[in-house]
Amino acid sequence: MDLHEAATNEENRDFLGSSLIFTSLDNMTEMFMEMLLETISGELCSEPYNYFGPGPIGSINNTVTNNLKIPVITVETYRAYQLERRVTDQLAILGYVLKYYKLI
């Protein structure tokens, strides 16, 4: 898991707030899709999350996934939201993954 906060939305700039980013979903496609659907249904997080892939070349997401063969999900929250909301969403996603794999 790689937790980030996207900069505020500006014209002519990619906007990644409230997003899940992956380079490879090897061995985690089902978990990822279920988690994404729970954000869309409102069961998980404060709003629906988008998804993007692959992670940019040079990012931790892309480098760890391709060089170490460890899949990474980057969670991007939107920096303009209140800190409590951002932290709550990040912890909810982290908790979802840990529970899914029975690590907690």
What radius of gyration do the chain's Cα atoms show? 13
Angle at 22 between CA 21 and CA 26, to 5 degrees: 155
More confident residue, 76 or 16: 76
**Looking at residue 76, what is its pLDDT?**
94
Residue 93 exposure: Cα atoms within 13 Å on the Cβ side: 31
pTM, two decimals, is: 0.87
DSSP tag of 23: S
- Each domain of the chain, given as residue ranges in start order, spans 2-8+24-100
12 falls in which pLDDT band (50, 70, 90)?
low
More confident residue, 40 or 8: 40
pLDDT at 89 over 80: yes
